[in-house]
């Protein structure tokens, strides 16, 4: 049977599983982690890309129910992955394959910085989350635009200076880790690639 062709390191921000970190091992300045998942690993190749809490990582080994990733010192310094420990729950999404349905927005797993949760307010059946963007990234965030937080594609509802708001609907809360947010939490944030290109075209290079 012909295997589906994988698109290199491209995702949609639609989480497919909540994985559980089962072990972390420091290797000098780098780190190795084992992640338990309900995703089918049978046909997942070593070297395949998986978006883990918003970060594109490569599968370096696997068991029947878990996979391993190696995380560089550079990635640890730019993301929240250095805080991983046994039992940590993380959003997972395998790389897109040709023919997959496209949803959310294009996410690359290249984290731009850490957004801080400022406030959580109920809004009907949803949860309204107010966040502060990392310094220098606020210009890439626009109302009705997209942003990826811990690997979840979300629509920006409101922007004011360095602060922005998103709504977490019940479905998103049920199937991602965003139901467990608390003020002060840091989320891996990736701005929309379209916003990055528009900023460059108008003379504001990244």
The string of pLDDT tens digits covering residues 17-47 is 999 999 999 989 999 999 999 999 998 999 9
Going from N- to C-terminal start, the domains of the chain cover: 17-94, 113-201
17-94: CATH class: mainly beta
- What pLDDT does 102 receive? 65
- What pLDDT does 83 receive? 95
- Cα(114)–Cα(196) distance, rounded to whole angstroms? 17
pTM: 0.89
- What pLDDT does 96 receive? 81
Return the HEC string of the chain: CCCCCECCCCECCCCCEEEEEEEEEEECCEEEEEEECCCCCCCCCCCCEEEECCEEEEEEEECCCEEEEEECHHHHHHCCHHHCCCCCEEEEEECCECCCCCCCCCECCCCCEEEEEEEEEEECCEEEEEEECCCCCHHHCCCCCEEEECCEEEEEEEEECCEEEEEECHHHHHHCHHHHCCCCCEEEEEECHHHHHHHHHCCCCC
The CATH number that domain 113-201 falls under is: 2.40.30.20
Residues of the chain with pLDDT under 70: 1-8, 98-104, 194-206
Number of C-alpha atoms within 13 angstroms, CB side, residue 159? Answer: 16
């Amino acid at each position: 049977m012909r295997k589906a062709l994988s698109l290199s390191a491209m995702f949609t921000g639609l989480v497919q599983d909540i994985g559980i970190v089962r072990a972390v091992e420091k290797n000098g300045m780098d780190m190795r982690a084992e992640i338990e998942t309900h995703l089918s690993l049978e046909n997942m190749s070593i070297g395949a890309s998986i978006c883990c809490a918003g970060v594109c990582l490569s599968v370096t080994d696997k068991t029947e129910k878990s996979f391993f990733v190696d995380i560089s010192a550079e990635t640890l310094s730019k993301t929240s992955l250095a805080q991983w420990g046994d039992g940590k729950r993380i959003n997972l999404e395998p790389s897109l394959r040709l023919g997959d349905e496209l949803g959310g927005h294009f996410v690359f797993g290249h984290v731009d910085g850490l957004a801080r949760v400022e406030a959580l307010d109920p809004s009907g059946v949803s949860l309204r989350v107010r966040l502060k963007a990392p310094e220098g990234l606020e210009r890439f965030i626009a109302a009705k635009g997209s942003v990826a937080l811990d690997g979840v594609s979300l629509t920006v509802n409101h922007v004011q200076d360095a602060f922005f708001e998103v709504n977490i609907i019940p479905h998103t809360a049920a199937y991602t880790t965003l139901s467990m947010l608390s003020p002060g939490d840091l989320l891996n944030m990736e701005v929309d690639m379209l916003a990055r290109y528009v900023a460059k075209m108008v003379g504001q290079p990244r």
